Amino acid sequence: MTTTSDGSRRRFLRQTAAIGATFGGVVATRDALAQESPLVVPPWTKTPGLPLSEGNYGMPSPFEKNVVRRGRKDYRMPGSGSIMTPHGNLRGTITPSGLVFERSHGGVPEVDPAQHRLVIHGLVRQPLIFTMDDIVRFPSVSKIHFLECSGNTSQGWMNRPATVQLSHGLLSSCEWTGVMLSTILDEAGVAPNASWLIAEGADSAGLNRSIPIAKCLEDTMLVYAQNGEALRPENGYPLRLLLPGWEGNMSIKWVRRLRLASEPAMTRWETAMYTESMPDGTARQFTFVMEAKSVITDPAPERPLRAHGFMEIRGIAWSGNGRIKRVDVSTDGGRNWRQAELHDPVLNRALTRFTLPWQWKGEPALIMSRAMDETGYVQPTHRQLVAVRGTANRYHYNAIQPWQIAGDGKVTNVFA
Amino acid sequence: MTTTSDGSRRRFLRQTAAIGATFGGVVATRDALAQESPLVVPPWTKTPGLPLSEGNYGMPSPFEKNVVRRGRKDYRMPGSGSIMTPHGNLRGTITPSGLVFERSHGGVPEVDPAQHRLVIHGLVRQPLIFTMDDIVRFPSVSKIHFLECSGNTSQGWMNRPATVQLSHGLLSSCEWTGVMLSTILDEAGVAPNASWLIAEGADSAGLNRSIPIAKCLEDTMLVYAQNGEALRPENGYPLRLLLPGWEGNMSIKWVRRLRLASEPAMTRWETAMYTESMPDGTARQFTFVMEAKSVITDPAPERPLRAHGFMEIRGIAWSGNGRIKRVDVSTDGGRNWRQAELHDPVLNRALTRFTLPWQWKGEPALIMSRAMDETGYVQPTHRQLVAVRGTANRYHYNAIQPWQIAGDGKVTNVFA
């Protein structure tokens, strides 16, 4: 069910004149429109348009040139840093490949697919080396999954997110095509004492992570295509791992090595980095799953309110533990909650759209969304999360995001 | 169910050595791989990679530069023609926006969204003009649907398709976001005697089509986003119609006018064009629905076979009448058929992936796929289709596509 209820339709209907008046749109009179051509004929109708872009890869309209990835460079290593998906300008659940977030620790390698090799060795019956042609011949799957950096929304620990892009932009969603890792492991033959897989990338950082064998056999993919086309260079071309629902750095890009072992490798990426400093001075390690989260993307700092009357609150929700079961929305700072509509298809470990009709009459309002996944887990508030994990942490922030709407329609983050 | 059966896995396992030997990949020995670094360290691992593409819209790898739209220009009008999606190089069910097919009758207009207006008038209670801001405020939906030109696979009438791209490339699939047209019609109030909607584009061709009101109320959308981002200019930026499952030209791009009427307008696009010449000299008009079709995309002319042994036959199937129910595949010219696996999610009026494991031992083979949709309709053979519709037709060809595999692995179209 994705159409509005009769009640909200009637409410919207009564608002029509106000929309036109406020937005500068003209609600034409019956007389004016009785003529055949009440519209001004715009200049682009009067001349032939641009030629077909034959032989070129298509690009967005020049009017959308500000919808790009932005973020932070990390000068400790050339090419390293992260740039974010502009969710405050997007609609739907698929992230176009050209806007998928980038997180790199050693820049983007220019891998020649004809030269690329994947090795599987260690505790296996038969070590193997694969070309890309070999990999593509295996039985294939296509799955829509989100991919999220464990540092996504990390500004929330300091409660200072500025925009949806800068707070929630280390998150993207694609249709991924490749082969189940279990198929490849089956081919090599996993030894009974192999309980971890150490995966290594071909980038200059040589990023490597230890993955429990159970996740490898459950739903991990070796991916070579994203949104129908070959993986993008910054997303791991020509081959990457994808661990649905787990922190993004484990989905090793440009993957070249899979080593089966009886112990985790304790690499710098799971000791010096990607661990969580707790209030008692200890660190949480191997915190793999990205827990349930949601964010309102409209209205949002990128999308202020420009008129009173009917509107639709829209957002996205996701969980590394499965499907989203329910999203509630509050427009009064969390005192009252209404259940939002979830839009089909609600897929496993994928972005789910939610919407809720709302009448805004110009009053200041504090809006927020709260996701629940199919395990029953409920997205916490900032206070609840900080009470357990403190504020020295950099990763796995997943608290409710409040947006303050001012009387003039401007939207900002507030402490709540 | 998207993993292979145990049986096919075992078959593949026995082929492993052959794959390595034939493709030039190395099936490493246990001894060589007992060392920590059996792989050559490639040059891109030895130096920092490229910087993040901050502020830029991302592009495919230079190694994929041949994966672009190609097609035919139509010199009768500047900017007109059609260029096709390279399905012979794609994988999955989403078409990336930069590769969505283009069909234009007057070039691509450069529409300023701030200046664009949509009018609804004619047999309505309240004529209305909307800005883009108005449109976006209405309750929104996101749906994955295919979009197909009625001229797609028209080379089949002459039985001369060359590649998947040039035969089946006037077909794409996106996640579309917008508002249900029924919501907008509800706002204007459709008069009881309004049985058709005449939709007109803002391009220089002023393409306009008559749409039965039932389709408008059933599932037609006013779309402003595609694969999460704003519509691409060549696909109707900033606003288009989308009639799921119906011939593409009716999904009016750059839509500026919706006029409710009691009769179809009999525009040149539904009289001089987009009608079908039948063997008896009459013409079929208003043939809206794109009936069930399928095509094998691997192997295909773009993807010859390069090794004997296990492989996976892969393709896509779709129907304008609903969900795909079943796809059968033959590897012996249609004498014997095996049921292919359909991959989730199987969505309404959307591309559905199918796969079938196959052993190829170097014998010449004639492979083909046959789709059945949920209405029970079965994709016809070329002979069956031509027997009814003749060969003077240009549109709505949907016959089974046979590919001939030669002993050297080359794949070509044949008459079958």
Residues of chain A with Cβ-Cβ distance to B29 below 8 Å are 127
Least CA distance to B98: which residue of chain A?
A58
Cβ pair B295, B238 in contact under 8 A: no
Q: B139, A357: Cβ pair inside 8 Å?
A: yes
User: A-chain residues within 8 Å CB-CB of B89?
Assistant: 229
Report the 3 state secondary structure along B82-111: EEECCHHHCCCCCCCHHHCCEEECCCECCC
Radius of gyration of chain A (CA): 24
Same domain? For A224 and A176 the reply is yes
Q: Using one digit for the tens of pLDDT, what is the confidence trace for B298-357? A: 999 999 999 999 999 999 999 999 999 999 999 999 999 999 999 999 999 999 999 999
Residue A16 — pLDDT band, cuts 50, 70, 90? very low
Lowest mean pLDDT across A49-63, A81-95, A340-354, B10-24:
B10-24
Residue A149 within any structural domain of the chain = yes
A45 and B202: CB-CB below 8 Å? yes
- Whether B251 and B326 map to the same domain: the answer is no
Tell me which of A8 and B102 has the higher pLDDT.
B102
Mean pLDDT of A159-186: 94
**Residue B249 phi, psi (nearest 5):** -65, -20
For residue B256, being part of any structural domain is answered with yes
Q: What is the mean pLDDT of chain B?
A: 90
Rounded Cα gap, residues B359 and B8, in angstroms: 10
Q: Where does A150-282 have alpha helices with state H?
A: 164-168, 181-188, 213-218
Is the domain of A156 the same as that of A248?
yes
Q: Residue A270: what are its φ and ψ, rounded to 5°? A: -125, 15
Instruction: For chains A and B, count residue pairs whose Cβ atoms are closer than 8 Å.
Output: 458
C-alpha triplet B265, B100, B266: angle, nearest 5°:
10
Residues of chain A positioned with their CB less than 8 A from the CB of B38: 119, 121, 127, 129
Q: Please tell me what DSSP assigns to residue B320.
A: T
Element holding B72 (H helix, E strand): strand B70-73
pLDDT tops 80 at residue A282 = yes
Per-residue pLDDT reduced to its tens digit, B249-280: 999 999 999 999 999 999 999 998 899 999 99
Of A3, A203, A232, the CB nearest to B60: A232
> B171 and B147 in contact (C-beta within 8 Å)?
yes
Phi-psi region of A260 (alpha: psi -120 to 50; beta: other; left: phi over 0): beta
Residue range A179-202: mean pLDDT, rounded: 97
Q: At which of B256, B281, B306 does a domain end?
A: B281
Answer whether residue A30 is part of any domain.
no
Residue A104 domain-assigned (yes or no) = yes
User: Is the Cβ pair B49, A104 closer than 8 Å?
Assistant: yes
Residue A173: list chain B partners with CB under 8 A: 228
Let me know whether B161 and B195 are in one domain.
yes
Contact call for B99 and A345, based on CB within 8 A: no
- Report the residue of B14, B54, B70 to disrupt the A interface, i.e. the one with the largest count of A CBs within 10 Å: B54
**Residues B225 and B316 grouped into a single domain:** no
Verify that A274 and A300 share a domain, yes or no.
no
Q: Is residue B50 part of a domain?
A: no
Nearest Cβ partner for A96 among B78, B224, B229? B229
Of B24, B96, B175, the CB nearest to A131: B24
B248 and B113 fall within a common domain: yes
- Label residue B53 by pLDDT band (50, 70, 90): confident
* Residue A58 C-alpha, separation from nearest chain B C-alpha, in angstroms: 4
**Closest residue, chain B, to A82 (C-alpha):** B52
Whether residue A83 and residue B53 make contact (CB cut-off 8 A), yes or no, is: yes
C-alpha span between A148 and A395 (Å, rounded)? 11
State residue A75's pLDDT score.
67
Domain assignment of residue A143, given as a range: 81-284
**A55 within domain boundaries:** no
d(CA A411, CA B377) in angstroms, rounded, equals: 52
Please list every residue in chain A whose beta carbon sits closer than 8 Å to the beta carbon of residue B52.
69, 71, 73, 79, 81-83, 102, 104, 108, 234
HSE-CB of B327 using CA atoms within 13 angstroms: 30
Q: What is the pLDDT of residues A234-281, one digit of tens each?
A: 999 999 999 999 999 999 999 999 999 999 999 999 998 899 989 999
| Residue percentage of chain B with pLDDT more than 70 | 90
Q: What is the DSSP letter of A367?
A: E
Q: Which helix (H) or strand (E) holds B382?
A: helix B382-389
The answer to whether residue A367 sits within a structural domain is: yes
pLDDT band at B382 (very low <50, low <70, confident <90, very high): very high
Domain final position from A284, A313, A347: A284
Q: Give A58-82 pLDDT, tens digit per residue.
A: 999 999 999 999 997 776 788 899 9
Q: How confident is the model at residue A5 (pLDDT cuts 50, 70, 90)?
A: very low
B198 and B237 inside one domain: yes
Residues A86-142 pLDDT 10s: 999 999 999 999 999 999 999 999 999 999 999 999 999 999 999 999 999 999 999
How sure is the predictor about B40, in pLDDT bands with cuts at 50, 70 and 90? confident
Same-domain check for residues A275 and A301: no
Q: Which among B124, B135, B137 is the top mutation candidate for probing chain A, defined by the most A β-carbons within 10 Å of its own β-carbon?
A: B137
Residue in B351, B368, B346 with CA at minimum distance from that of residue B148: B351
Q: In which residue are the tokens 């009936």 written?
A: B291
8 Å CB contact of B203 and A45 = yes
**Do residue B87 and residue B206 come from a single domain?**
yes
The reply to whether A245 and A384 lie within a common domain is no
pTM: 0.92
Q: What CATH number does residue A160 fall under? A: 3.90.420.10
- Residue A53 in any domain: the answer is no
Radius of gyration of chain B (CA): 24
Which residue's entry shows tokens 């994990």?
A: A389
Do residues B158 and B97 both lie within one domain?
Answer: yes
DSSP line for B326-376? EEEEESBTTSS-EEPEEPSP--TTS-EEEEEEEEE-S--EEEEEEEEETT-
Bridging pattern class, strands B221-226 and B240-242: antiparallel
How many domains would you assign to chain A? 2
B329: domain CATH number is: 2.60.40.650
End residue of a domain, out of A284, A307, A333 = A284
